[in-house]
Structure 1
Amino acid sequence: MKFCIFGAGGTGGTLAAYLAMAGNDVTIVARGAHLAAIQAQGLTLQTNHRGTVQVAGIKACTAENYDDVPDVLFVCVKYYNIEDAIAFAKAKMTPQTLIVPVLNVFGTGGVMQAQLPELTCLDGCIYVMSEIKEPGVIYQSDKMLRVIYGYRPQQEQKLLETAQKLEKVLNEADIKGHFSDNIIRDALQKFAFVSPAAAAGAYLAVTSEKFQQPGEARDLFSGLIKEVESLGGAMGVTFKQDLTEVGLKIMDALKAGSTMSMQRDIQKGRQSEFAGLVDRVVSLGHEYGVAVPLYEKISQWGKEQHLG
């Protein structure tokens, strides 16, 4: 398949590398020093489970210079850059392309679809631990790599054949792909891991090993998951698994020292997804009449830290 990856950070860079290594046609849309390094020497993927790979065959360009019609556009930017992705899709994509956003923030596909009525935007999410180590180099710290995507309820299933084929292509690329029949449930389940992990990690300034043992960090992480689960219930979502149990299992499998991207951005003084991963839960709590006191506490801390 032919892919365009909009955003070449940890998420987009990892997806691009795996898809290209499996023989797919992949173009990364990036900018700055990272783009220049990829154009000059290709993309390097560093992992703990398969070593360091110099990935051949990946094309890279700016948004302005992209001139192709991919089968699938993966949107892999941070939520605060979603308008850039929408502008790119509006200018460059055609109705023949399936758009799959895999951002951390819940409900991104619907946000994009509202502004791109002529195109087909699914909802999606990704489980991955990776980041830009230096320009042109992606470090994947954990072998976990899973992409879930699907049509929203009542969404017209345009490009269904492409959506079905994508699942097979992802799995052939050593990415655990799942074409979901309930993407709202599955995306919220993923959100119920990454949002609590990011919120608790940033608030307590701790890394994964603190969550892997009894104590304040693990209790806060579990409590935040329960608040998201309560929200899901109020939204009419029935989960197949206990979200706290699932979240703890994922956390316990992480390499020591692991952190979420929001936490890393905050630590480095960069813009972060705090508004989408923390404040959004508080807003949803008010909307659905669900108490989220732990999120409210962290949201207030964020305001004092001028985050968001």
Structure 2
Amino acid sequence: MKFCIFGAGGTGGVLASYLAMAGHDVTLIARGKHLAAIREEGLVLHTNHRGTEAIKGIKACTAEAYQDKPEILFVCVKYYNLEDVLAFIQEKIGSDTLIVPVLNVFGTGGMMQEKLPQHTCLDGCIYVMGEIEAPGVIYQSDKMLRVIYGYRPGQEQRLLDTARHLETVLQEAGIRGHFSEHIIRDALQKFAYVSPAGAAGVYFNATSEDFQQEGKEREMFKGLVREVATLGKAMGVDFQVDLVETGLKILDALQPGSTTSMQRDILRGKQSEFAGLVSRVVDLGRMYHVPVPLYQQVDARIK
């Protein structure tokens, strides 16, 4: 398949690497020194489970220079860069491209669809631990790699054959791809991990091993997950798993020293997804009349 991946960081870079290694046509939308390095040397994927691999087949360009017609557009930017993606789609992408956002923030696909009525924007999420280690080098710190995507309830299922085929393509590339019939539930379930992990991580300035033992960090994480679960039930979501147990399994399997991208961005003084991952939960709590005291605590302290 022909892929365009907007965003060449830890998420987009890992996806591009696996898809290109499986023989697919992949173009990364990137910028700056990272783009220059990929153009000159190709993309390098550094992992603890596969070693270091140089992926030569990946193309890379700026959003302005892109001129192709992809079957799939993966949106892998931070939430605060979403307007750049919307402008890119409106200018460069036709209605026959399936758009799959895999941002950390819950409900991004629906928000995109409202602004792109002629396109097909699914909802999606990804489980991955990756970051830019150096220009042209992506570090995947854990072998966890799972992509879930699907149509929202009531959404017209345009490009359905493409959506179904994508599941097979992902799986054959070594990515745990899943075309979901319950994407709102599945995306919120993922949010119920990444949001509490990021919130608790930045609140305590903690790394994965702090959460892997009993203590205030682990208790805060569990409490935040419970607040998201309560919100989900108020929204009519019927979870099929225990979100606390599921989140702890992910945490306990992480490599030592792991942190979330939001936490790293805040600690480096960079723009972060705090508004989408933490403040948004406080707003949803007010909207659905659900108490979220731990989220309010994190929100007030970090702001």
| TM-score between both structures, scaled by the size of structure 1 | 0.98
Residue 140 (1) aligns with residue 140 (2): yes
2:214 counterpart letter in structure 1: P
What secondary structure sits across from 2:177 in the alignment? Answer: strand
Residue 276 (1) aligns with residue 276 (2): yes
What secondary structure sits across from 2:139 in the alignment? Answer: strand
What secondary structure sits across from 2:186 in the alignment? Answer: helix
Q: CA deviation at 1:38?
A: 0.3
Where does residue 129 of structure 2 map in the other structure?
Answer: 129
Identity of aligned residues (%): 70
Where does residue 234 of structure 2 map in the other structure?
Answer: 234
Aligned positions of 1:63-82 closer than 5 A: 63-82=63-82
Separation in 2 of the partners of 1:111 and 1:7?
A: 18
Separation in 1 of the partners of 2:209 and 2:4?
A: 36
Where does residue 166 of structure 2 map in the other structure?
Answer: 166
Aligned positions of 1:156-195 closer than 5 A: 156-195=156-195
What secondary structure sits across from 1:117 in the alignment? Answer: coil
Q: Tell me, yes or no, if the aligned pair for 2:41 and 2:56 is still in contact at 8 Å.
A: no
1:171-201 CA-to-partner distances (Å, cap 9, x unmatched) read 0000000000000000000000000000000
1:63 counterpart letter in structure 2: A
What secondary structure sits across from 1:143 in the alignment? Answer: strand
Runs ≥4 in structure 1, deviation > 3 angstroms?
A: none
Where does residue 287 of structure 1 map in the other structure?
Answer: 287
Separation in 2 of the partners of 1:186 and 1:266?
A: 27
Q: CA deviation at 1:162?
A: 0.2
1:77-120 CA-to-partner distances (Å, cap 9, x unmatched) read 00000000111111111111000000000000011111100000
Where does residue 87 of structure 1 map in the other structure?
Answer: 87
Structure 2, unpaired ranges of 5+:
none
Number of residue pairs matched by the alignment: 303
Aligned positions of 1:213-252 closer than 5 A: 213-252=213-252
| TM-score between both structures, scaled by the size of structure 2 | 1.00
Where does residue 9 of structure 2 map in the other structure?
Answer: 9
Q: Tell me, yes or no, if the aligned pair for 2:234 and 2:290 is still in contact at 8 Å.
A: yes
2:21 counterpart letter in structure 1: M
Q: CA deviation at 1:302?
A: 1.9
What secondary structure sits across from 1:104 in the alignment? Answer: coil
**RMSD of aligned alpha carbons:** 0.4
2:247 counterpart letter in structure 1: G
Q: CA deviation at 1:211?
A: 0.5
